[in-house]
Amino acid sequence: MVQISKQDLARMGENVAASYLVTDGYSVVCRNFRVKQGEIDLIVEKNQQLIFVEVKTRSYHSIVSALANVNYRKQVHITRVALEYCRQNPQFDNYNTRFDVIIVLRDKRNDSFSVKHFSDAFLPVLGD
C-alpha cells in the first residue's frame, strides 16, 4: 500500500474524473481554471452545454462527507468563478450551463478508483 500526498491524490482524482467524462462523451475545455475568486477543477462541454465540475477525491469511502465539502460557501465561489470564465470566453454565450460534482474514491487495497457523478448537483449561487 503506497502512501500518497493529498495534492497527488487530488491530481490523480482529477485525472480519473477527466478520463471518465471523456469516455462518457464530454470534451474537456479547461482544467484548473483559476481567478482571484477561486478555482474550478474541470470545465467540460457536451451537446451545447458548458459544465463546471468540482472534483472531490477521497481515500476512504465517504461520499456524504465529500459532498458536504461542496457547501454553500464553496458553491458561491464556484458560481463566481464560472461567471468569470463565461465573461472571458464569449464563444460559450449560447451554451446552457450546469454544475456537477464528481466524487472519486480510491481503494487503497488495490490502488483502484471508482467514480460517482452527480449531474446538475447544485444551482448557481451568487451569495450575499
Task: Find the Cα–Cα–Cα–Cα dihedral 114, 119, 121, 125, rounded to 10°.
Answer: 130
Specify the residue for cell string 460517482. Answer: 116
Q: Is 17 buried (19+), middle (13-18) or exposed (0-12) by CB count in 10 A?
A: buried
Q: For residue 50, what is the domain's CATH number? A: 3.40.1350.10
What is the total count of domains within the chain? Answer: 1
Q: Is residue 51 part of a domain?
A: yes
Distances 67 to 13, 86, 100, 104 between C-alpha atoms, Å? 15, 25, 11, 11
Please report, in tens digits, the pLDDT of each residue of the chain (128 residues total).
Answer: 567 788 888 899 999 999 999 999 999 999 999 999 899 999 999 999 999 999 999 877 678 888 888 999 999 999 999 999 999 999 999 999 999 999 999 887 887 889 999 999 999 988 66
Q: Is residue 59 part of a domain?
A: yes
Q: Whole-prediction pTM value?
A: 0.92
Look at residue 44 in the predicted model and tell me its pLDDT.
Answer: 98
* Ramachandran bin of 73, using left for φ above 0, alpha for ψ from -120 to 50, beta for the remaining angles: alpha
